[in-house]
Amino acid sequence: MYVGGGEMLGGNSAFAHIGHYDEIDGEIIADVGIHRHNPDLSYKSLLGADDATVQIVGKAHGDAWHFHGGSRQLPGAPFRSVMTALGDEIGPLPGPDAVGAGGIINGLYSVHMQALDGINVGLTGIMLLYDGRILGGDAFFYYLGTYSSINGRWKGSFLNQEHTPAKSEHPLFGGLEVGVGFSGTCDDKGATLEATALVGKRSIRLMAKLTLMRQGSLST
């Protein structure tokens, strides 16, 4: 989840989270929409609906923010969440003029990634692209990186790191920092990429499709 300038943008392996917040007297008051991006129905919504909203209030406790609230889709059921900061920057600094005419659009994208060469490994998640910076993640990993883009093409790299132990669900990537370099095409609806991931001592080819879910720039 990216949090800044009144925006909350993030998600996980199946759902995107798009919301707004106000900070009043040391509390965060937020309204967050939850929208399915993964058609695999084995990923269940906590709220019992593929499109839902939560209204939450939170306070800082040390390095974390503790939220409580509820949802119109599940009246009477309490909702609680803890957000722990990974950092206060929005990712590595890209090069100057990273995005030119015809470059990829700033926004929140769903990502569906699949390994090639007969390796049955796939990941789905969310990627936030902003002026040459990459932020994103899923249920187990988070991504930080940079890209450049012009004339319907883009290329870049990012580092895939664990935030939750993943070895049982994703034995290939679990427990490792995975560097990914990529290139691909883009338009006003999304993008594709072909990538090489360095997984320990292995080099694995990947392909991915990105679908734009929300266009916009971030307030930093």
122, 208: one domain: yes
3-state SS string for the chain: CEEECCEEEEECCCEEEEEEEEEECCEEEEEEEEEECCCCCCCCCCCCCCEEEEEEEEEEECCEEEEEEECCCCCCCCEEEEEECCCCCCCCCCCCCCECCCCCCCEEEEEEEEECCCCCCEEEEEEEEECCEEEEECCCEEEEEEEEEECCEEEEEEEEEECCCCCCCCCCCCCCCEEEEEEEEECCCEEEEEEEEEECCEEEEEEEEEEEEEECCCCC
Residue after which a domain boundary falls, among 50, 84, 118: 84
Integer Cα distance of 12 and 85 in angstroms = 16
| Residue 61 domain-assigned (yes or no) | yes
Residue after which a domain boundary falls, among 49, 84, 119: 84
The pLDDT of residue 80:
94
Identify the domain containing residue 111 by its residue range.
107-215
CA distances 128 to 26, 45, 84, 200, 216, Å, are: 27, 22, 18, 26, 10
| Residue 89 domain-assigned (yes or no) | no
6, 66: one domain: yes
Provide the token pair at 192. Answer: 């594709």
67, 112: one domain: no
| Residue 38 domain-assigned (yes or no) | yes
The C-alpha angle with vertex 135 and arms to 31 and 167, in degrees rounded to 5, equals: 100
The pLDDT of residue 127:
94
Domains in the chain, number: 2
Integer Cα distance of 21 and 31 in angstroms = 6
113, 158: one domain: yes
The pLDDT of residue 219:
58
| Residue 42 domain-assigned (yes or no) | yes
The pLDDT of residue 170:
78
54, 123: one domain: no
| Residue 92 domain-assigned (yes or no) | no
Q: Is the pTM of this model over 0.75?
A: yes
| Residue 95 domain-assigned (yes or no) | no
pLDDT tens sequence for the chain (220 residues) = 888 889 999 999 999 999 999 999 999 999 999 999 999 888 888 888 899 999 999 999 998 999 999 999 889 899 999 998 887 666 677 877 899 999 999 999 999 999 898 888 788 999 999 999 999 999 888 989 999 999 999 999 999 889 888 887 777 788 888 899 999 999 999 999 999 999 888 899 999 999 999 997 665 4
